[in-house]
């Protein structure tokens, strides 16, 4: 979906790296996160300040190979190593389907997946993942477990104005962001964490050192350029043509088309979202999530296979810890594929 915008920008985001540059493991040995490129750090802080979606003051930035690596680094850093039992990791269902897979992949003695946060009642320490807006259902979220020993990770991959009104600057202890969802550059494999506690930031950095000895500098330099162009355009004379204005308009159009298709078919339902004021775009709008979380109504029990039969590929509810009556569909595909999808959806009849 974002390709057409970046195509229009032409050479503005082109990066040329001569063979002799960025050869060392190190970016800035004086920083806590010694493999973080200073220009990338600068553009992260600048973009958050321009958009107003996260507090960057008194935070350490840790760069990762996608927020996927940072999530693992955070689990490593937050697990109390003196415990005999692995710490429980929970998230309210429906949760991002990769969380359980990543958490239990190596059968760690530090942490283990404990499922839906809403039914978690064990005493003692736990880690709760709060994804806001949530993948897959798009709702804004807060932590749900009411324990005194909870440690929170806020995955804010979708807290950008094309998806949801920016109502305030997020101000949590550990926040994860990624270019995959903010600018569309999933293939760069770049994410960043804003971390309040120095010790936690140090341990996350240590994990990434052990895991991959840092993060591709080529990618960081490219990501810095993309973020810079976004901020430059917002602060320049043609603000109406900025990246978030463009992507907000595409998402608004797609959600309108989706709701019309759902209505025409009559077999499905999608949630309504309460409108809110976006401080960045300075307008009131309803969230327009990166995924459609669709429920098959009536007697269709397995929505994923039903839609596969209609040539629509989705991910079923059971991957997200809920009923197979639900499916998740990406709203970010290229225009042509999205048009085909809504056309097919609108013509489905029982």
Q: Give contact residues for ligand PMP (rule: CB under 6 A).
A: 66-68, 96, 131, 135, 155, 157, 178, 180, 186, 191
Which residues partner with 151 through β-bridges? 127
**192 vs 244, beta carbon nearer ligand PMP:** 192
Q: Beta 291-296 vs 315-316: how paired, if at all?
A: unpaired
Give the shortest CB-9-to-ligand PMP separation in angstroms: 21
Give the shortest CB-345-to-ligand PMP separation in angstroms: 22
**Pick from 269, 288, 77, 61: nearest CA to 176:** 61
**178 vs 247, beta carbon nearer ligand PMP:** 178
Residue with tokens 């056309």: 343
Q: Are 326 and 292 in contact (CB under 8 A)?
A: no
Q: Are 264 and 303 in contact (CB under 8 A)?
A: no
DSSP 115-151: EEGGG---SS-EEEEEESSPTTT----------TTEE
Give residue number: closest CB to ligand PMP: 66
Give the shortest CB-130-to-ligand PMP separation in angstroms: 10
Give the shortest CB-98-to-ligand PMP separation in angstroms: 7
CA atoms within 13 A on the CB side of 8: 9
Region of 282 (left: φ > 0; alpha: ψ -120 to 50; beta: rest) is: left
Which residues partner with 283 through β-bridges? 278
Please calculate the CA angle 164-169-171 and round it to the nearest 5 degrees. Answer: 120
Give the shortest CB-124-to-ligand PMP separation in angstroms: 26
**Pick from 147, 128, 149, 131: nearest CA to 139:** 131
Residue with tokens 């489905």: 348
**278 vs 332, beta carbon nearer ligand PMP:** 332
Residue with tokens 């608004």: 252
**179 vs 258, beta carbon nearer ligand PMP:** 179
Give the shortest CB-131-to-ligand PMP separation in angstroms: 5
**178 vs 231, beta carbon nearer ligand PMP:** 178
Give the shortest CB-123-to-ligand PMP separation in angstroms: 28
């Amino acid at each position: 979906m974002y390709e057409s915008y970046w195509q229009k920008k032409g050479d503005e985001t082109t990066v040329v790296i001569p063979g002799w540059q960025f050869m060392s493991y190190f970016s800035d040995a004086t920083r806590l996160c010694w493999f973080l490129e200073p220009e990338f750090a600068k553009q992260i802080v600048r973009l958050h300040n321009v958009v107003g979606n996260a507090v960057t003051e008194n935070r350490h930035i840790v760069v990762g190979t996608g927020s996927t690596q940072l999530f693992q680094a955070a689990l490593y850093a937050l697990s109390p190593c003196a415990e005999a039992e692995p710490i429980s990791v929970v998230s309210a269902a429906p949760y991002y389907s990769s969380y359980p897979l990543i958490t239990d992949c190596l059968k760690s003695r530090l942490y283990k997946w404990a499922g839906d946060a809403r039914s978690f009642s064990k005493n003692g320490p736990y880690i709760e993942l709060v994804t806001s807006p949530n993948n897959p259902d798009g709702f804004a979220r807060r932590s749900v477990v009411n324990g005194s020993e909870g440690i929170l990770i806020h995955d804010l991959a979708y807290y950008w104005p094309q998806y949801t009104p920016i109502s305030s600057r997020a101000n949590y202890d550990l926040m994860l962001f990624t270019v995959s969802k903010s600018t569309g550059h999933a293939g760069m494999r770049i994410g960043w964490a804003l971390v309040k506690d120095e010790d936690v930031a140090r341990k996350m950095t240590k994990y990434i050192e052990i895991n991959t000895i840092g993060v591709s500098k080529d990618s960081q330099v490219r990501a810095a350029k993309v973020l810079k162009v976004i901020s430059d355009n917002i602060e320049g004379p043609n603000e109406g043509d900025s990246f978030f204005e463009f992507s907000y308009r595409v998402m608004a159009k797609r959600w309108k088309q989706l709701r019309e298709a759902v209505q025409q078919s009559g077999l499905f339902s999608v949630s309504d979202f309460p409108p809110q004021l976006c401080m960045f775009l300075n307008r009131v709008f309803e969230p327009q999530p990166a995924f459609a979380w669709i429920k098959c109504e009536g007697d269709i029990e397995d929505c994923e296979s039903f839609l596969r039969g209609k040539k629509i590929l989705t991910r079923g509810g059971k991957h997200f810890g809920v009923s197979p009556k639900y499916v998740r569909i990406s709203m970010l595909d290229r225009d042509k594929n999205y048009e085909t999808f809504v056309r097919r959806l609108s013509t489905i009849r029982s």
